[in-house]
Amino acid sequence: MTEIKILNAESSDYSQEAYSLLLSLGTVKQSDLDRKSLIKILPEYDVLIVRLGNYIDKEIINVAVKLKAILTATTGLNHIDIEYANQKNIKVISLQGEYEFLKNISATSEHTIGLLLSLLRNIPDASNSIKENIWDRNLFKGKEISGKIFGVLGYGRIGTKVAKYAQAFGAKVIVYDVRKITSNKKDIVIVDTVDELLENCDILSIHVPFNKSTSNLIDKSKIDKMKKTSIIINTSRGEIINEVDLLSALETSQISGAALDVLANEHISPIKQSHPLIEYAKTHKNLIITPHIGGATYESMHKTEVFMAKKLSEWIKSMNEGLH
């Protein structure tokens, strides 16, 4: 692996600093490839860099006859068939476990609050009304974060930041995490069960990783425990919420609203599949959806791309040392 070929398959606005680091490792092709184009050229490359635009499944892995590593600047990995990549001895290099580095990345935490404010204050509809030459504040009377009980499901890197932001708005924060945690943060209450969190919160903000234990974690039985005035914010992974049950809860006013940055199986381009939640959002004000832009800021992506390029460099160095 002294001379490697690197394919950056989702390189729009890619960090120049990170690109320079990649060039020091071998030859680099930067492009924005759809699935068909990726399958066509991937057999030539040793390293593949992706974001979330392509689902790296068995079909793609099988054509990648030279592939030794997949680089993804994400913590979630449900856009890659990890088990099959492991079977093929392909190393997946990601941001999972990089806690110290990720403490300085705030994009998703900030977007969580942005979604919340957009929903509570009817910001998208109010803005759109101006484009229709309607100036009527009475149409868009909203609600405040201040004084609400803000439930944080998952008190990890993002959850702790969101809790801090919520407190700054004057909310009372309650937290549940599957780990046994203690908090030295003033005015944060740690509850013992998910049900206790759901029963008490006005706002539920989801920040747990997607795995077998969290798949469909928020289903009808859980939503039914929430207040009818409560709202759900999800910037984690779509698969954590049972979307059929969420849609039903919105339609029947079992909860007041939801704001989502993620959808289940979003790698199959749900907007092209007439997704039920997207169709509902087109005609209802109590659901806002954004296309997984939580981590998509220039600052955070620059930092993570440089960090990942350095991780790749270290991995290549360790592989080369192992050959001697």
**DSSP letters spanning 190-232:** EPSSHHHHHHH-SEEEE----STTTTT-B-HHHHTTS-TT-EE
* Mean pLDDT for the stretch of residues 105-131: 97
Question: What pLDDT is recorded for position 323?
Answer: 58
- pLDDT of 2 higher than 60: no
Has residue 85 got a pLDDT over 80? Answer: yes
Q: What mean pLDDT value characterizes the chain?
A: 93
Per-residue pLDDT, averaged over 199-214, amounts to 95
Stretch 89-96: mean pLDDT, rounded? 94
pLDDT above 90 for 39: yes
Lowest mean pLDDT among 11-15, 88-92, 126-130, 263-267: 263-267
Torsion from C-alpha of 310, 314, 320, 322, nearest 10 degrees: -160
- The whole-number pLDDT of residue 78 equals 85
**pLDDT of res. 183:** 63
Q: Is 137 a catalytic residue?
A: no
266 in catalytic set: yes
- Collapse the DSSP code of 102 into the 3-class scheme (helix H, G, I; strand E, B; otherwise coil) and give the result: helix
- Taking residues 212-222, report their average pLDDT: 96
Determine whether 292 is an active site residue: yes
> Is 152 or 271 the better-scoring residue by pLDDT?
152
Report the b/e string of 287-298 with b at 16+ CB within 10 A: bbbbebebbbbe
Annotated active-site residue in 79, 266, 267, 305: 266
DSSP 41-101: HGGG-SEEEE-SSS-B-HHHHHH-TT--EEEE--S--TTB-HHHHHHTTPEEE-STT-HHH
Q: Is 152 helix (H, G, I), strand (E, B) or coil?
A: strand
CA distance linking residue 14 with residue 6, whole number of Å? 14
Q: How far apart are CA 83 and CA 90, in angstroms?
A: 10
d(CA 177, CA 208): 8
Question: Any bridge partners for residue 233, and if so which?
Answer: 205, 259
Query: What percent of the chain is predicted at pLDDT more than 90?
Result: 82
Q: Catalytic one among 51, 157, 207, 237?
A: 237
pLDDT tens digits, one per residue of 234-253: 999 999 999 999 999 999 99
Q: Report residue 52's pLDDT band, with 50, 70 and 90 as the boundaries.
A: confident
Distance CA 303, CA 44 (A): 28
Contacts of 133 (CB under 8 A, 6+ apart): none
Cα separation of 309 and 315, whole Å?
A: 10
Amino acid at 165: Y
Closest CA to 51 of 18, 22, 9, 15: 9
